[in-house]
Amino acid sequence: MKLWFEEWFESDEYSTVYKHRNNEEAEILISFILSKINLSGDAKILDLGCGAGRHTLLLAKRGFQVTGIDQSAKLLSVAVDEAQKNGLHARFIKDDIRTVSFSEKFDVILNVFTSFGYFENDDDNFALFTNVEKHLSDEGVFVFDFLNAENVKRNLIPFSEDEIGDMVVKQSRKIEGNKVIKEIVLLQNGERKNYRESVRLYSKTDLLGALNKNNLSVEMIFGSYDGEAFDEFSSPRLILLCKK
């Protein structure tokens, strides 16, 4: 049986439903990250869970040596097409971000835009941090951008319905145990398709503990892409900049 993201991310509809996640939003995050890190022009950057490569390609545009890893062949094909169309040099590899292995080390490793918490148990999720520690250079920075669990719990929108072209998108959301679950119903041309998202809700304390166990120390914490201080109850994001 396929995991939810193996089915959803490979669908034709995923990119349509999330087309509002545009390059402008990605540019804000990348500009913010680079404002906090001093990097040489030839820095090596690894984007774990790169999806369609929005963040990876913005870094390639700036001249960095970038590598993007994702398990979705469909999203990676979009990334490769965008790179070729814009004359950008980037390496994209289909692999598991928890186990992908390189002989080289990276100056920056990214796991951004909630590309984490997709598995049922903690060991499977936190295996990412073990792999990050293995591939991060001695002076490197790990940038981890996740949802703020407490804010999600307090401000969850139970149901929404939108129209995207001739597609009706119905989304139901609930907290189930320690996960936020989204049931997605797509209605188009008389057809109905159902998809699901499930993300484990980890608190700041949970994540700092797991990072520390993997020799990763949090140097800076932010609560938004604008660099606001993190507030457990109101911040939309939990952004951690870590070093070994």
Q: List domains and CATH numbers for the chain.
A: 4-148+203-243 (3.40.50.150), 152-197 (3.10.450.700)
pLDDT 10s digits, 48-62: 999 999 999 999 999
Q: Is the pLDDT of residue 126 over 90?
A: yes
Q: What is the pLDDT of residue 104?
A: 98
Q: Is the pLDDT of residue 2 over 90?
A: no
pLDDT 10s digits, 145-181: 999 999 999 999 999 999 999 999 999 999 999 999 9
| 59 in Cβ contact with 50 (< 8 Å) | no
Q: CB-based contacts of 56: which residues, under 8 Å, 6+ apart? A: 45, 47, 50, 66, 67, 68, 79, 90, 92
Q: What is the pLDDT of residue 236?
A: 97
Q: Could you tell me what percentage of the chain is helix, strand and coil, using 3-state DSSP and rounding each to the nearest 5?
A: 30, 35, 35
Distance CA(82)–CA(88), nearest Å, equals: 8
pLDDT 10s digits, 96-112: 999 999 999 999 999 99
Look up residue 234 and give its amino acid.
S
pLDDT 10s digits, 184-207: 999 999 999 999 999 999 999 999
